[in-house]
Structure 1
């Protein structure tokens, strides 16, 4: 079978219930009930349920590498969480990794208010470039989250772009890191960026 023949075959899938938003849209308070009926990963954007693109193996490996490296060095006041929401009201983006104030975390946590989120990290995938480069930084900066990292794949190597919130709003790029990340904020971080292998 040729590549052209494969492209013309119908795409198979399964039905996913897409809840109808109430007047004013869904908010973070609705997440527990939405998780019971939406059989896929999703986020809230302006009160609507938005399905999340599948992630690549490289993306998932990098999340694990960064999560465990940050957990080893995080101060006692911080928890390193993955794929939890940031509660912006009718919008609840779900960063790949967050550093959150420990006292805000419970076993039932699904999302966190932005004032307890000190770092958000987005690992780029081919299908999330615009979201990770444009939408997410704008959302996180507007919410007042001080530190943002965007992680990019360059020939299977981890490259970390770091940003800090400006007093007047928006993020300013601070550094580009290859092989090692060393920063002072949101807490002293000095971690190696190993090769991504499997």
Structure 2
């Protein structure tokens, strides 16, 4: 199939209920009810339900690699969570990975207050470049989350860009890591970044 043939094909889809927000918009408190009616992955942005782009196989593999590597070395009072929200009120972004205080984690956790989140990690997909490079750092730094990592695909290899919160706000870059990631914050981390294979 050529690119021209692909562009001429109609885009097919199915109906997904996107609830109309109440006055003032939805918040993290509404997530359990929203999960019952929205049949797809979503986040809240300024009180509105926003559908999430499908993830690639590479994206999912990297999440697994980082999740298991970080779980092995995280302090006992930190939980490495995946695809849980950060409660910013009417905005609830859902980073790919989070390092969260164990005290606020329960079996039915859907989101966490930013004061209990030490690290957020976004694994970039083709459809999330602007969100992961611009929107997410602004949201997370404004919320006071100490560490932010953005993970990118460099010819199939994992590249981790690390950032730390500045006292005056905003993030400062602290490193670019290939093959091995070694940082002191949010806790001492020294992990290999293996080739992504399946």
Shorter-normalised TM range: over 0.9
Question: Which residue in the other structure is 1:172 paired with?
Answer: 172
CA distance in 2, matches of 1:172, 1:3: 40
User: Is residue 2:116 matched to residue 1:108?
Assistant: no
Structure 1 gaps, min length 5: none
Question: Which residue in the other structure is 2:161 paired with?
Answer: 161
Runs of 4+ with deviation above 4 angstroms: none
Question: Which residue in the other structure is 1:70 paired with?
Answer: 70
SS in structure 1 at match of 2:152: strand
Question: Which residue in the other structure is 1:5 paired with?
Answer: 5
What is the aligned length?
A: 198
Structure 2 gaps, min length 5: none
CA distance in 2, matches of 1:194, 1:3: 33
Coordinate RMSD, CA, aligned: 0.8
CA distance in 2, matches of 1:3, 1:149: 34
CA distance in 1, matches of 2:91, 2:6: 37
Question: Which residue in the other structure is 1:33 paired with?
Answer: 33
* Superposed displacement of residue 5, structure 1: 2.6
1:168-198 per-position Cα deviation (integer Å, ceiling 9, x unaligned): 0000000110101111111110100000011
CA distance in 1, matches of 2:126, 2:182: 27
* Superposed displacement of residue 149, structure 1: 0.3
TM-score (normalizing by structure 1): 0.98
1:67-126 per-position Cα deviation (integer Å, ceiling 9, x unaligned): 000001111000000000000000000000000000100000000000000000000111
Summarize the alignment of residues 59-98 of structure 1 with structure 2, pairs less than 5 Å apart.
59-98=59-98
